[in-house]
Amino acid sequence: MAGNSIGKALVFTSFGESHGPATGGIIDGFPSLITIDKNFILAEMTRRNPAGYPFSTGRTEADDIEFLSGLSGDITTGTPIAFLIRNHAQQPGDYDHLKDLYRPSHADFTYEQKYGIRDYRGGGRSSARATAAWVAAGAMAKILLARHDIRVWGFVSQIGPFRLNDDTTVTMEEATTTSPLSCPDQSVTEEMLKFLEQTRAAGDTAGGVITCIISGAPAGLGEPVFDKLHADLAKAVLSIPSVKGFEVGSGFAAASMTGSRHNDPFIATDGLISTATNHSGGIQGGISNGMDILFRAAFKPVSTLAMSQHTVDRNGRPVTFEGKGRHDICVVPRAVPIVEAMAALIVADHLLRSRCGKE
């Protein structure tokens, strides 16, 4: 299957299925002589573990990471870093009733049309379980970025119809609070929790929006035309299961603004050039301008429902079925570290491709 790698100077290749023995990855191009804090990586992986969130799947993996190459002790050697994250909580039998039908809005039909075969056990390669390795790789990218004082952090800004005000500003400290839904506003969190409880009681699911901010990125990251920084961020984030929308800066709201309102005037303070506003989201012409990079990712509702749905089987015969097993009501809160991970990988890749990435 093609399309399993992302990046050019820093190349991350992912492998593994939801109910296979392991998922994992290979990172090529990671600089040498960088100390890798395994505890930090495990902490990042724990952030995506459903055990920490209400309304999440009952599948809980005691994730650990095995490094197979690329490290001497805790120090990177500059050679490919290969790692494994073993699956211990597989229950493939939960999916036996699905092997001959196509679930609405899942990848069952499209995978079978493309490859002539599909792994019906939890979606196989299309499962969000594969993102455990993405978060591990993203954690390593964060370690690299921290050496350049670049931070990547996100938060839930919307679940269902409940959202933060558009003019709400959130600091990194506020975004990393102990909210059960990774939303920095307590009153909005409470509304979200009530909504999700009602949604679960109805056997339904919900989607939402994650806002991600990259602070400290220098001006000059990104390539003209087809490797624009925001284009690469969009590709990475839209590769996350359930993501259906991406916008940077003012995004779609720019369509209703005038140019005089949307333009970001340049200013100079103590000899440093910046912009008075940041409608551009820190990127102009596909290249970072030194302001905070801000984007949002929209997640669709989970496709597996605890209610009857209509579909067809492989022979085109109508079928009625109901989702069974362990599934999320809303994936958005535990997807925050996944969005951060993919953003970190892209920024680290562009940092290494740019003169700004030289030690």
Q: pLDDT by residue (tens digit) across 316-344?
A: 999 998 776 667 899 999 999 999 999 99
Is 70:27 a contact under the CB 8 Å cutoff?
yes
pTM: 0.93
Q: How far apart are CA 136 and CA 237, in angstroms?
A: 16
| 160 pLDDT above the threshold of 80 | yes
Domains of the chain, residue spans: 5-357
What average pLDDT does range 216-223 have in this prediction?
96
What are the helix (H) ranges across 106-225? 108-115, 131-146, 172-175, 186-201
Give CA 283 to chain center in angstroms. Answer: 20
Is 69:163 a contact under the CB 8 Å cutoff?
no
- Output the pLDDT for position 21: 86
- Express each pLDDT in 249-302 by its tens digit: 999 999 999 999 999 999 999 999 999 999 999 999 999 999 999 999 999 999
Is 285:291 a contact under the CB 8 Å cutoff?
no
Name the residue with higher pLDDT: 62 or 138. 138
Name the residue with higher pLDDT: 358 or 162. 162
Name the residue with higher pLDDT: 323 or 117. 117
| 1 pLDDT above the threshold of 60 | no
The class (CATH top level) of 5-357 is: alpha beta
* pLDDT bracket for residue 60 (50, 70, 90): low
Give the residue among 239, 205, 292, 215 at the shortest CA–CA distance from 128: 239
- Output the pLDDT for position 201: 93
Q: How far apart are CA 281 and CA 277, in angstroms?
A: 9
Give the residue among 90, 111, 75, 70 at the shortest CA–CA distance from 17: 90
> Alpha-carbon torsion 333, 245, 98, 95, what sign?
negative
